[in-house]
Amino acid sequence: MRSLALISRENDCRSCYKCIRNCPTKSISFHDGQASIIPNECVYCGRCYEVCPQNCKQIRDDKEEARALIAKGNCVASLAPSFLSSYPGTSFDTMKDALLRLGFMAVEETAIGATIVKKEYDRLVNSNTQDVIISTCCHSVNLLVEKHYPKAEPYLAHILSPMQAHAKDIKARYPGASVIFLGPCISKKNELDRYEGYEDCVLTYLELDELLAEKSIEVAKETDPKKFEESLARLFPIEGGILATMVKDNPDYEYIAVSGMENCLQTLKDIIDGKVHHAFIEMSACAGSCINGPAIRPEARSFASAIIDIRRHAGKKDFRVKDYASKILAKPFRNQAFAQDIPSEEEIINVLKKIGKTSRKDELNCSSCGYSTCREKAIAVIQGKATLEMCLPYLMEKERSFASSVVEESKNGLAVINETFQFTLVNPALSRMMGKSQNELLSSAVFEYFDLGIFGEALEGKNVPPRRLAMIDSDKIFEVSLTYQSRYNVLIAAFRDVTIEERNKRIKAEKAEKTAAITSEVIAKNMRAVQEIAQLLGEATAETKIALTNLQKTLQEDDGDE
C-alpha cells in the first residue's frame, strides 16, 4: 500500500505556523512544537509544501515504482500540457525525445484525455440536467467539495479527469501497457490511490527532473516548434483554458473560470447559498490553474511566459479522439465530510479568556497563529488542533509579565545601560540600594555614581569579571557584574550591595591586625625573657664548669702526692 501523497517531517518544524496560515482548509494540527497534516481533512493542494521555510512537507517519492514500470518496456508517458511552465523554451517534441531516451515505450499528451473530457462537458451542459456544473479536472477541488462542502457535491460534473480519461484511452489502444502521468500536481497522487484501473503511477515534474538527471538527459530547447491545428486542448492548464476548448453553445448557461483556493472557497459558498444558477464553472485550486502547480522547481517555474507559450503551441481544432459513451467516462464521488464537534459559545469564551481575550477589543485577529480570527483559533484549540501558546500576543504578554516579575521582584539591583552610559531600565531593588528614585536614576548616567572604567571596557566587548566599586560621595560599596548585549549595544548590570560585607571585612581585618600586634608584642617579651634566662643559665653554667674543673685539678694533685 502506498503512503500518503503528502506528509510532514515533524523533526524539522520550527513553530512558524506558516503552513497553518496558508492552508485554505486549516487541515494541519500543531502539538509539541510540530505541525502535522490531518489526512482526512487535507485536499493536497500543496500550499503548505510551497510555503514551508524548513522544507518539512514531503511529497511521496514514486520514482522507484516508475523505474520498475519503465524497465518492463511497455510503459507509456502521459505528459500534462503544463510542462511548459516547468521546462520553458521546450516543446512536446523535445520532451518526447527526452522521455523516450529515459525508456518509455511511447509518449503522449494528456491533452488527448482533456479533449475527451471537454466533449463530455459540452454534452452535460447541453443536456440541461444540472443547474450548476463544476468541472472535475482538479482533484483538489473535488476533495474540497467532498470533505468540506459536501452540499455542493450534486453540482460536480461526474466525469473523469483528463489524466484518467487519457489513461483509459491509452490502455484501450495499447493492451497490457502501463501508464505514468507526469505533471505539476500533488493531488494527482491521491487521485491515483483513490481510483483504480486508470494510470499506474504519478510523477511530479520534480521527480521527473531527478530521473532525467540520473541519466544525464537534458530536454532540448525548441526555437521553432512544429504546430499542428488539432491540439486545442493544450490550453487546459491555463485559467479559462477548459472554457476556451468548449463549444459553449447553450445560451442558458454562464461560463466562469475560477482559480486559487480562496476564490474556490467563496464560489462554493455562493453556490450552496443559492447565489449562482445556470453556470458552468471551471474551477482550479492553483491560482492561474495548472501552470502554477506546487511540484515545480522554483528556479524553473515560468508563469506569464508559459501562458504565452501554451497559447502559441495550441491549435484551433480538437485532437482526434474516440467518442466514448457517457457511462464509461462517469466518475463517482462520495461524501467524505469528517465529524467535527462544534463547541459552545461558553467553551469558546473560556479558551479566549485563557489567552487574555476578555472582550471583543482584545481579539486582535492578527493571524500570527495561522488562523484568521481569535475565535477560529479558540475553536481549533477545543478541537485539539491547536494550543494556547500559538497566540503570539499572548506569549509576548506572558513573557513580558514573567520578565517584568523577575526584574521587579529581584533582590539584586538590575539595570540596563546604553552606549552613552545612561540608565534605561532600573529595578526597585537598585533604587533602594542607591537611595535614589527610579525616575532620578533613569534621568542620569552611571558615571555620576561610579568610576566609569569597567563600564567602558564592557561596552567595548571586553570580558570584565565582577568588581567591587565604591559609590561616589557615599560610603556604599557594590559588587557589579556586567553582561554586554552586542545585538542591542547595551549593558545588563547586576548590583549587589556589599557595604556591610566590606565593613565587616574591614573590622575583621582591623581586629586581626590588632591581634597580630599584641601577639607580636607577647612573643617579643617572651623572647626577651627566654634570652635573659638563657644568659643567666649560661653564666651559671660557666661558673659551674670552672668550679668543677678546679675541683678536678685539686683531686688530681692529691693523688700525685700519695
Q: Per residue in 468-488, pLDDT tens?
A: 999 999 999 999 999 998 888
Number of domains in the chain: 4
Alpha carbon of residue 323 to chain centroid: 49
Does 512 reside within a domain?
yes
- Show the cell assigned to 412: 539584586
Count of alpha carbons within 13 Å of 432, Cβ hemisphere only?
11
Residue 334 lies in a domain: no
| CATH code, domain carrying 380 | 1.10.15
Q: What is the pLDDT of residues 403-418, one digit of tens each?
A: 567 778 888 999 999 9
Q: Is 287 exposed, middle or buried (0-12, 13-18, 19+ CB in 10 A)?
A: middle
In sequence order, the β-bridge partners of residue 59 are 6
Quick check: 562 pLDDT over 60? no
Chain centroid to Cα 301, Å, comes to 23
Picking from 258, 285, 342, the residue whose alpha carbon sits closest to that of residue 49 is 285
Domain CATH number, residue 67: 3.40.50
Residue 111 lies in a domain: yes
* Whether residue 133 is found in the same domain as residue 184: yes
What residues does 79 pair with on adjacent strands? Answer: 109, 182
In the Cβ-directed half-sphere of 43, how many Cα atoms lie within 13 Å? 26
**Tell me, what's the pLDDT at 540?**
67
- Give a yes or no: residue 392 inside a domain: yes
The sign of the torsion formed by the CA atoms of 430, 435, 437, 440 equals negative
**DSSP structural state of residue 436:** -
Distance, in Å, from the CA atom of 143 to the CA atom of 153, rounded to the nearest integer, reads 10
Residues 355, 377: Cα–Cα separation, whole Å:
11
- DSSP assigned state of 32: T
Q: For residues 466 and 509, state if they share a domain.
A: no
Mean pLDDT value across the chain: 91
Strands (E), 192-311: 201-204, 254-259, 279-284
Query: pTM higher than 0.85, yes or no?
Result: no
What's the average model confidence in pLDDT over 71-79?
A: 97
Domain co-membership, 405 together with 516? no
Query: Are 293 and 203 in a shared domain?
Result: yes
Contact 428, 408 (CB under 8 A): yes
pLDDT score, position 396: 67
Given a cut of 80, is residue 548 above it in pLDDT? no
2 within some domain: no
* Residue 228 maps to a domain: yes
> What is the pLDDT averaged over residues 195-204?
96
Residue where one domain finishes, among candidates 497, 513, 546: 497
Q: State phi, psi for 417 to the nearest 5 degrees.
A: -120, 125
Return the SS3 of 434: helix
Number of H helices, E strands in the chain: 20, 16
Confidence grade of residue 400 (pLDDT, cut at 50, 70, 90): low
C-alpha cell at 237: 492548464
Q: Judge whether residue 119 has pLDDT over 70.
A: yes
Strand 75-79 versus strand 106-109 pairing type: parallel
Q: Residue 191's pLDDT band (boundaries 50, 70, 90)?
A: very high
User: Do 348 and 228 sit in the same domain of this protein?
Assistant: no
| Residue 154: count of CB within 10 angstroms of its CB | 14
User: What's the pLDDT score for residue 525?
Assistant: 83
Residues 222 and 271 in one domain: yes
* Domain termination site, one of 457, 481, 497: 497
Asked whether residue 435 falls in the same domain as residue 484, the answer is: yes
Judged on CB neighbours under 10 Å (0-12, 13-18, 19+), 55 is exposed
Q: Could you tell me if 399 and 351 lie in one domain?
A: yes
Range of the domain at 468: 410-497
Buried b (16+ CB within 10 A) or exposed e, 373-396: ebbbbbbbbbeebbbeebbebbee
Residue 86 has pLDDT above 80, yes or no: yes
Quickly state the pLDDT bin for 506 (edges 50, 70, 90).
Answer: confident
Residue 149 has pLDDT above 90, yes or no: yes
HSE-up (13 A, CA, CB side) for residue 388:
13
> Does pLDDT of 177 surpass 80?
yes
Of 481, 497, 513, which one is at a domain's C-terminal end? 497
- E-strand stretches of 306-420: 413-417
**Of 95, 310, 118, 129, whose CA–CA distance to 211 is shortest?**
95
**Residue 222 and residue 92 share a domain:** yes
Greatest CA span in the chain, whole angstroms? 178
Do 481 and 509 belong to one domain?
no
- In a domain? residue 320: no
| All three cell numbers of 444 | 542620569
* d(C-alpha 261, C-alpha 411), whole Å: 56
Q: Are residues 436 and 383 in the same domain?
A: no
Strand blocks (E) in 167-244? 178-183, 201-204
| CATH assignment at residue 489 | 3.30.450.20
Same domain, 386 and 519: no
Q: Is residue 6 part of a domain?
A: no
